[in-house]
Structures are given as structure tokens and as C-alpha cells.
Amino acid sequence: MALRRFRNADRRGSASALVIVGLANPGAEYEGSRHNVGGDAVRLVAQRRGVRLSLESRQRALSGSIPTPRGLVTLAVPITFMNESGAAIPPLLRRTSLGDLTHLVIAHDELDLEPGRLQFKLGGGLAGHNGLRSIASALGTQEFSRLRIGIGKPPTKEQGADYVLQRPTGARKTALANLVAAAADALEILLDYDFDDAQRRVNGARD
């Protein structure tokens, strides 16, 4: 597969070897929802690594960087709503001087994976995910990397929006918190290993 590159003529920040973006809706009413697992996982990585996610001038994402054996890694969570996630990506890539889109990793909830399953993937379809669709539109390609975080399907297709936006309670809340922690573990593998190694370590793992 040919590498897809982001035309980054206006680069102005310190170059990052990797940019990891977690998708989520902003606002207290969406905290703890299934749709926010990507953003929650990135925030947890930042917390574990002592990285403060802050809003830079003219950016549309909270972000922070950490030195790793691979080089500087930027963690980010858009402040846009999910279906406008793409608006945050080009400014972020310019600030981090990232041109190779295989080094952009989007962490997101995935209905087509059973609950608790994690999968690193390069490129592929959008599976009706509005955040991914917005990012693909902004970049002009779907050939960026992803961490798919399995949340399973709702009982019926008509219940899809309620299913991803609701905040589980009881045992389901605990299971979701465990899923976020596992997704953060997977993202931390990328801080020390390349994407192919991360795929082998994460995609083949089973409970």
C-alpha cells in the first residue's frame, strides 16, 4: 500500500513521530458514554504519563506531547462534536509537522466489534462512524491508522444513537471503564513499538 501523505505546507510546530487522537463528544452530558471511549482512552494515557492536554492557539483539539523512544508523540482530543472531528485534524497535523498519515492514529468506538475487543487497523471503511467520516473528508483519504474499540451492537438498528450516547450504569459502567483502561494499555504499546508490532500484540489478544 502506498503511503498517504498530508500536504503540510504550513508546518510550524515541533515534529511528532506519531499523533494519537481520541474521538469524543464534548460536554458533561456525554461523559462516560460509549461514544467517548476513544477520547477517554487518550485522556487516560495522558494522565498515566503526566501529560497535560491543553488548547493551543487556533487549534480545535486539546493536546500534549511526550518524549518516547520513537520520538515525540502527541496525544489529542478534539473539542468539536463527533460529526465535526475532521475540523480539528489539519491544524493539529500542521502544528505537529506530521505528513505521513499512517502515523496518525484515531482511537474510536466500534459497533462492528464485540464489546471488549480491540483492533489496530490501517485504512479501511468508515462503518457509518460520523467522526471517521468527518476526518476522511478533511484529509481526502481513509488511509489513516485506527484503534477500533469494540462496544458491540445495540439491540436494534433504530436504537443506535441512544446506545452510543447513553451512559451505562452498574456492571455495564464497570465494563466500559475496564474497556477504556484496556484501550489506553493498547495505545501505550505504540509509545514503545511500531504499528505492526502493536497490531501483533493487541489484535491477537483474547480474554
- Res 170 pLDDT > 90: yes
The label of the residue with cell 477517554 reads: 40
**Prediction pTM value:** 0.92
Q: Note whether residue 37 is domain-resident.
A: yes
14-61 per-position pLDDT tens digit: 799 999 999 999 999 999 999 999 999 999 999 999 999 999 888 999
Q: Note whether residue 3 is domain-resident.
A: no
Give catalytic status of residue 129 as yes or no.
Answer: no
Of 35, 103, 108, 129, which one is the catalytic site residue? 35
Q: Note whether residue 158 is domain-resident.
A: no
3-state SS, 14-69, equals: CCCCEEEEECCCCCHHHCCCHHHHHHHHHHHHHHHCCCCCEECCCCCEEEEEEEEC
Q: Note whether residue 7 is domain-resident.
A: no
Query: In a 10 Å sphere around its CB, with 0-12 CB exposed, 13-18 middle and 19+ buried, how is residue 52 labelled?
Result: exposed
- Res 6 pLDDT > 70: no
User: Count of domains in the chain?
Assistant: 1
Cell of 42: 487518550
d(CA 203, CA 207): 12
Containing domain of residue 178, as a range?
Answer: 18-153+167-203
pLDDT: which is higher, 5 or 159: 159
Q: Could you tell me the CATH number of the domain that includes residue 177?
A: 3.40.50.1470
